[in-house]
Structure 1
Amino acid sequence: MKQTYGKTEKLKSKITIDKLFAEGKTVSAYPLRLVYIKTNFEDNVSLKTGVSVSKRNFKLAVDRNRIKRLLREAYRLNKNEHLAAVSGPYAFMIMYSNKDMPSYEFIEKKMITLFQKFIKAEAENL
């Protein structure tokens, strides 16, 4: 599996996002929160992921965009080794909810913890 985060893997559908927040389950590794739902996609992709940073915590768009770039990069580099065992297609939304500007190392460490909690939660649901 390639370490990419291409156009087909990005969560863009408003219908899916609304369903995700209405019916989705949550896993947290503060300051990251993962909202996920098992769903079907038309383009045969196993994971679709979006990232979000609160405008309330970061007023400047450059700060929000930097954090989103860090989140996407940590997701891209760690999804293969941690999410390879996931069965079925999932929609993910990863949210950052702290007021401090993070470093990449911090985000990556929390992303790995978040993936481990997600795998554990899904193993319990099966």
Structure 2
Amino acid sequence: MTVFSYPKREKLKSKKAIQALFSEGKSVSVFPLKLIYLKTQLPENVSVQCGVAVPKKNFKNAVKRNRIKRLMREAYRLNKALVFNNTEAKFAFLILYLGKDMPSFQGLAPKMKLLLDKFNTLPHE
């Protein structure tokens, strides 16, 4: 498996898992990103499943929301090795974009790296 891939089995799509994230998950933030995570059992043979979300409240235009999600997925794809190499547990991730203005990839990628570094420094029971 290549490190810089983001295959379908690593994408968080389960409605139950997403609801569990919002009800039981813990979070860590590096503005404008917020990571909600939950230690869970994953059906596939992956250690992390990740999804991204952009609130409709802040971005009415779907084209803008989709662009931000694409940038977030790309930033995650390039930095996910930070999580994969430092944990044996299985997690579900949901990354939210909290900002109100359109980000650039150069502004978003370092924030994603900081967010994943911050997640790694937390104790995971």
Unaligned runs of 5+ in 1: none
Q: Deviations over 1:21-43 (max 9, x none)?
A: 11100000001000000111121
| Equivalent residues, number | 123
* Shift in Å, 1:6: 1.1
Q: 2 CA distance for matches of 1:4 and 1:64?
A: 22
Q: Which runs of 5+ in 2 are unaligned?
A: none
Q: Residue type of the partner of 2:55?
A: S
Aligned to 2:65: 64
Aligned to 1:27: 28
- Aligned pairs for 1:35-74 (under 5 A) are 35-74=36-75
Q: How many angstroms does 1:44 deviate by? A: 1.5
Identical-pair percentage? 52
TM-score by length of 2: 0.94
Q: Return 1-10 or 46-55, whichever deviates more.
A: 1-10
- TM-score, normalisation: structure 1: 0.94
Which aligned pairs between 1:115-126 and structure 2 lie closer than 5 A?
Answer: 115-122=116-123, 125-126=124-125
Can you list the C-alpha shifts for 1:15-70, whole angstroms capped at 9, x where unaligned?
Answer: 11111111100000001000000111121211100000010111100000000000
Superposed CA RMSD in Å reads 1.0
Structure 1's consecutive aligned runs of 4 or more residues displaced over 2 angstroms after TM superposition are: none
Which amino acid is the alignment partner of residue 108 of structure 2? Answer: I
Amino acid corresponding to residue 34 of structure 1 in structure 2: L
Equivalent in the alignment of 1:102: 103
Structure 1 residue 102: Cα displacement: 0.4
Partner letter of residue 6 of structure 1?
Answer: P
**What is the CA-CA distance between 1:91 and the residue it aligns to?**
0.2
